[in-house]
Chain A
């Protein structure tokens, strides 16, 4: 069975601080995908990134960066120079790779990030 653990329930930072959101996953599959989603106060989940289990390169997109370490089953997310607009709940998710082109996502319980001035 697949499982995603986000141990940090809530994080508060002051604007311009860097913050890292942790994600640890469990799967028996050798091939899988990892995702991060953002859920702002409006409620709609926003896709941020998808990473294939074969690709352990770190990725940077603007102020966002992701660190994938297969050896520790972790896929952590860092926001550099945080802004108030980053305040949201962030979910890490995992999916298997099957013969089709779609499969279910298994989500963690989320980390609520509060950025204050």
Chain B
């Protein structure tokens, strides 16, 4: 079946602009996660959803970052007033939400964001 998909694959924007990154999880997966990966580093947690609600948003770096998942499937990560330091690969993952496969997260290909 289809894996996690993310669009766009690449996004170049100018400092101060607004961007939206989209994630389509694996069908039927109830949990959805956003991570950010800078060059040479491991993924860094941003936020995760259980259904439509944000269960943990402790990783969002500041109030310029916001994410939604209005129907419990597709999620959008929104970044306002982008800064050069926001440049990174933004990864989305999903998991079934079942105890038997607790937290086995399957990742998408990522969106590479470059802020000029």
Which A residues fall within an 8 A CB radius of B?
4, 33, 35, 37, 42-47, 50, 91, 93, 95, 97, 100-110
Contacts and interface: CB of A to CB of B under 8 A. Distances in A.
Contact of A106 (B45, B55, B91, B98): B45
B109 A44 contact: yes
Contacts of B41: 109-110
A111 to B, nearest CB: 10
B70 to A, nearest CB: 19
A101 B42 contact: no
Contacts, number: 79
A100 B58 CA distance: 16
Given A44-B108, A44-B109, A44-B110, A102 B43 contact: no
Contact of B102 (A44, A101, A106): A101
A91 B104 contact: no
A34 B35 CA distance: 18
A107 B44 contact: yes
A104 B102 contact: no
B31 A101 contact: yes
Contacts of A104: 33, 45, 48, 56, 58-59
Contacts of B103: 33, 35, 50, 95, 101-103, 105
Given A101-B99, A102-B97, 13 more contacts: A45-B107, A47-B105, A91-B43, A95-B103, A97-B102, A101-B30, A101-B50, A103-B48, A104-B56, A105-B103, A106-B45, A107-B42, A109-B42
Contacts of A93: 42
B95 interface: yes
